Amino acid sequence: MYRRRRIVGTYLGAALAVAALPGISLVLDDSPWELILCGAVFLVVNQLIHCYPSSVRTAPPVALLVLAAIGIVQDTLLWLLVSWIGSQMDYGVHVDGFLTALAGGAVMRLTVLAVMAIGPQPVPEAA
């Protein structure tokens, strides 16, 4: 359940960043597959480098801030990677610069954390 919310939050965050930020745009402007490709790159890397709290609502505020900051850096680098891949293929997403990628990373991470906070939280595992 929690994993599905991360997937939905990732795609929603990518769509929101492309729609809201003027420096992030689709290369072809007519294919929804470009956004799906962008989200797939984010999902693969986010599954390999997992920096989310086990439960967003019960996480200590300091831990949540540290994980959010690490996640924003990770998502910023991913926006730059996705833009580079798009420039090599002439397909995908174009990001204008580092500050735009940083704003996109913040939008992406905050959207994912907000979607993860909605609904029932996972039960903590007993040690």
∠ CA(65), CA(11), CA(38), 5° rounding? 105
Q: Which residue has the higher pLDDT, 121 or 91?
A: 91
Going by pLDDT thresholds of 50, 70 and 90, the confidence category of residue 87 is: confident
| This prediction's pTM | 0.81
Going by pLDDT thresholds of 50, 70 and 90, the confidence category of residue 103 is: very high
Decide: 94 and 86 in contact? Cβ < 8 Å. Answer: yes
Going by pLDDT thresholds of 50, 70 and 90, the confidence category of residue 102 is: very high
pLDDT tens sequence across 21-75:
998 888 776 667 777 877 888 888 877 777 666 666 777 788 778 888 888 898 8
Decide: 41 and 10 in contact? Cβ < 8 Å. Answer: no
In this prediction, residue 45 carries a pLDDT of 80
